[in-house]
A and B are shown apart, each in its own frame.
Chain A
């Protein structure tokens, strides 16, 4: 037991309407890289926030070197030896590498001259250890993303961190840079550094980690198991659970219906290449892919937020000229339920009625001279009721509602708008099981009524529950498509194969050109 550096026991965290963490345990050994896995909404990010001192747990304890640890904020966590390399860069862009690393230590006296030579000398020591060949005097903004990341690791190490938490460190790295990073991490592990490695990419986790903790629905799906003996399929199974959640709905084939939305060989300004896609009347097409595959970006390109530079977008079999989102919504009746409902989906400081009404104001104002609350209410209330939005009144600010109710509001707004095409992006992130089931039934019902739905989700059971066809994307390209036979293991296997092929295709040219 003595080689356990960091441990959590019985961690609980409750948010309004959701139990984000329920009795979660993990332990981190000295000289080990420990994978922390889980789908979106599994509680992974809540656990990270507790470990880094942003959230306080409602129950349970953290232990560092066997002693209980109470963290008072992120600063305290760092001071107590928990180093973090966040997804977003936490460096001061115009400062030099060494200054970023030792900002902490400059505090001795505000008016004592900084000895840059000494700082550079100390920084060089750590940079050499990480194999980062860079002059410590150059500003970090001149570095590539991969190198900035190494600087952050160096910074954490220089601060004598006991535990190093790496949150999606490879998200923006090329395969070659990833290999470099892994070589560094392996070396650190051999030197006795303990790391928690958070990633969506299972290949990487299997390659580098020696133990693994998986979260599902806020609970341990497995606790600190050795990676050895766990296959890729086993991990996927742990992450997404069994197929029993899938309701026994009829498989449907709607490809006979006329297509409502078609993408023909489109290229976008943000990097999509040769994307073909069609959604038919009354059909739900799922768009599956790992984080960073370009699904949300494709949705926003369809909406006209990003430029489509080549190819054709057809709505109702006519070429659609969508130059901005207003066109997409107003003229072509395309709605988008954002994955980021707090900043993109809803206006948190406005009321329920304002939010649901946002999409109908223009239309209502055309008929009547005055846009009254009563008119908006008449127009939107059926949908608010249909979705069973629970709020004390329609004047309640959306920011005060629970996650599930917020999501209902952001869907209700598109029902009120009467869209023909609805793009739904990660509909069940941060909402409770009951609301989730309810939303699934609603989406199915909508499609039965003729709405064409494009569903983006990383939640495999959700995908298999809802989609009629599943299109798999990777690296801003479509890898292939599958008809949903509604059989869990076959489908997840099929999807995984498509993604896996993609990864192999990706890797080969890189290896060819070292």
Chain B
């Protein structure tokens, strides 16, 4: 029983979970409004979209790379979704599928370029960020698409059960799916193996290139999903969707214990990371604190989280040395 507890304490999601629970308790004591059904609905809506953004980046962190183009892919998918419905009058489910396809394709393009050229993912995704964002602006000329079907707006904002919004459903499916993928399916294990030690993964017969492409493909798909959901949430196809995703996309996985050199990510941890970020956002609104402080807090959280991870690493190395001596 004791060792079980110790195990929990060692796990990545334990710290974020404590913080989340503590934050909820403290905030609701100071302001009971916090747990009102309406506020919960707002919280869950924000978590639903932001979780996909964070998971999209998490898949790339898992292979030890970074994807600067998460926001640009999301934005491109969002305006494609809006545009196809407004201009081509395509029914919304088909438009959503096509927009997802665009995200998938964008991710595959990133992955193929990284794997094939060997150029760092940073440069490739910086270039593709600019390309995707440029296509977005080229199509929209910076004007939003307004004619969004009512059903999409409804799905983007309404609840189906108590405070539970429709948007939470796809996020739950994705989170469970990714957890299953990373825990039980060879593809997921290969992604983590490549991130953990690409050299020995290669020696064990894993195709590093294919795995990298797969991870980028999943990342693109999830970013597109987040973009599409935001169209429903905002009730218009904003070209600026995705512009401010970058910091959050790194903050949440890192708070959730992800190691930036790859091989270690946690779906649960990332979800808790998103929750913490969303709660902080809400608190600043509820207590009328300057919303721009969110940025400071986000940056501070990243530093705190990488600091904690680093400290753990150093400690682990020290224990290892002691064992060896």
Bound-state Cα–Cα, A99 to B192, Å: 12
- Which of A71-79, A406-414, A452-460 has 4 or more CB atoms under 8 Å from chain B? A71-79
Contact A111–B185 (Cβ < 8 Å):
yes
Contact A92–B203 (Cβ < 8 Å):
no
Contact B186–A104 (Cβ < 8 Å):
no
B323 in contact (CB, < 8 A): yes
Contact B189–A114 (Cβ < 8 Å):
yes
Contact B184–A114 (Cβ < 8 Å):
yes
Q: Which residues of A contact B203 (CB under 8 A)?
A: 74-75, 78, 90
Bound-state Cα–Cα, A78 to B201, Å: 13
Given known contacts A111-B185, A271-B325, is B205 in contact with A94 (CB within 8 Å)? no
Query: Range of interface residues on chain A?
Result: 20 to 34
Question: Which residues of A in the span 142-180 have a Cβ within 8 Å of any Cβ on B?
Answer: 144-145, 172
B202 in contact (CB, < 8 A): yes
Interface residue count on the B side (C-beta < 8 Å): 24
Contact A95–B205 (Cβ < 8 Å):
no
Interface of B is mostly: helix
Contact A92–B186 (Cβ < 8 Å):
no
Q: Which residues of B contact A109 (CB under 8 A)?
A: 186
Contact A79–B205 (Cβ < 8 Å):
yes
Bound-state Cα–Cα, A74 to B203, Å: 7
Contact B192–A94 (Cβ < 8 Å):
yes
Q: Which residues of A contact B186 (CB under 8 A)?
A: 106-112, 114
Contact B185–A114 (Cβ < 8 Å):
yes
Bound-state Cα–Cα, A103 to B194, Å: 11
B191 CB to nearest chain A CB (Å): 10
B39 in contact (CB, < 8 A): no
Contact A93–B263 (Cβ < 8 Å):
yes
Contact of A95 among B184, B196, B324 (CB under 8 A): B196
Contact A104–B190 (Cβ < 8 Å):
no
Q: Which residues of B contact A496 (CB under 8 A)?
A: none
Report how many A-B pairs have Cβ atoms within 8 Å.
Answer: 71
One digit per residue, 1 when the CB lies within 8 angstroms of any chain A CB and 0 when it does not, for chain B 189-231 equals 1101100110111111110000000100000000000000000
A443 CB to nearest chain B CB (Å): 35
Given known contacts A95-B192, A103-B206, A144-B324, is B185 in contact with A112 (CB within 8 Å)? yes
Contact of A107 among B184, B206, B214, B325 (CB under 8 A): B206
Interface of A is mostly: loop
Contact B202–A75 (Cβ < 8 Å):
yes
One digit per residue, 1 when the CB lies within 8 angstroms of any chain A CB and 0 when it does not, for chain B 269-292 equals 000000000000000000000000
A113 in contact (CB, < 8 A): yes
One digit per residue, 1 when the CB lies within 8 angstroms of any chain B CB and 0 when it does not, for chain A 252-276 equals 0000000000000000000100000
Contact A93–B196 (Cβ < 8 Å):
yes
B233 in contact (CB, < 8 A): no
Q: Which residues of B contact A94 (CB under 8 A)?
A: 192, 196, 263-264
B269 CB to nearest chain A CB (Å): 14
Residue of B nearest to A106 (CB): B186
Bound-state Cα–Cα, A79 to B196, Å: 22
Q: Which residues of A contact B155 (CB under 8 A)?
A: none
B187 in contact (CB, < 8 A): yes
A293 in contact (CB, < 8 A): no
A394 in contact (CB, < 8 A): no
Q: Which residues of B contact A (CB under 8 A)?
A: 184-187, 189-190, 192-193, 196-197, 199-206, 214, 263-264, 323-325
Seed contacts A90-B199, A107-B205; 9 additional CB < 8 Å A-B pairs: A90-B203, A92-B263, A93-B263, A94-B196, A103-B204, A103-B205, A103-B206, A104-B204, A113-B184
- Nearest first, the 3 A-B pairs at minimum CB distance are A110-B187, A103-B204, A90-B200
